[in-house]
Amino acid sequence: MDSAWITWARITASTLTVLLKIPTGTGWRVRLCTGMCRAAWRHVGSRMQQLKKIDKVLPEIMICGRSLDIFLDDIERFHGFTSPGLVLGGFMVDWAQELIGLDVEADAVVETCHCLPDAVQIFTPCTIGNGWLKVLDWDKFALTLYDKRKLNGYRIWLDLKKTLLFPKIYNWYMRRVPKKNLSLEALLEEILSARRSVLSCRAVQVTRMYGRKKKGNIEVCSTCGEAYSTSQGDQCITCQGEGYYSI
């Protein structure tokens, strides 16, 4: 490694995480190093002086209008940890936003409940609670942002053919390697190197499942006295014995 610098760092009581940017001649690659403080410092220690160098030739990466450090911070703050799916999801949202344009009021559909919904919730105005995001429990790593009036938009998905060039991403997503043998740092490095090159996009017209879900007709459950939607019957679901708790 001839030169590199820290673009992001997080220090907790016991661990140090640094994100290094390393020039490759034609561009740069990133390297995420995490470890117990001592080990982490040993890992990067000898390079600390040169890491401070800022090489203006290398382009700054911007994702969803954020620098890489703010992008990773936002993920960790909302989601609790730097999940590979969420980092990849950030690149998906970024591409969809670029295609549809930031001046379009867009709603979102996400085709899995794992990780990806949080990418939409962090990087767009769409959330579960405000009804602008729909989550389909289909285990497909894909999302669509679409104009909420005209219903046209763009679907972005993880393209397996393209991941063949990025074996860590393929093995992680297809679960070809046991989780314990998969280095999170190495996987994140590969995702941050690959970015859009493992994704595909297509213009789509949304034909179903759009719009905000209407509330049902609200009445008082004759058994528990709580408000509920009468679409469930004469009693609420919990009083029908389908609840999730005992008292």
Nearer to a copy of itself, 57 or 209 (CB): 209
- With 0-12 / 13-18 / 19 or more C-beta atoms within 10 angstroms meaning exposed / middle / buried, residue 160 is middle
Give the shortest CB-212-to-a copy of itself separation in angstroms.
9
Nearer to a copy of itself, 50 or 130 (CB): 130
Residue with tokens 């497909």: 140
Distance CA 28, CA 31 (A): 10
Residues 6+ apart with CB under 8 A from 135: 110, 112, 113, 117, 128
- What crossing angle do the helices spanning 116-123 and 68-79 adopt, rounded to 10°? 120
Nearer to a copy of itself, 51 or 236 (CB): 236
Give the shortest CB-183-to-a copy of itself separation in angstroms.
20
Distance CA 124, CA 74 (A): 12
Give the shortest CB-199-to-a copy of itself separation in angstroms.
12
- With 0-12 / 13-18 / 19 or more C-beta atoms within 10 angstroms meaning exposed / middle / buried, residue 238 is middle
Q: Which residues make up the interface to a copy of itself (CB under 8 A)?
A: 78-81, 83, 86, 109, 113-119, 121, 125, 127-132, 135-142, 144, 155, 157-161, 173-175, 202-210, 213, 215-216, 218, 220, 225-229, 231-232, 236-238, 243-247
Nearer to a copy of itself, 101 or 211 (CB): 211
Distance CA 79, CA 68 (A): 16
Give the shortest CB-226-to-a copy of itself separation in angstroms.
6
Nearer to a copy of itself, 43 or 114 (CB): 114
Give the shortest CB-126-to-a copy of itself separation in angstroms.
9
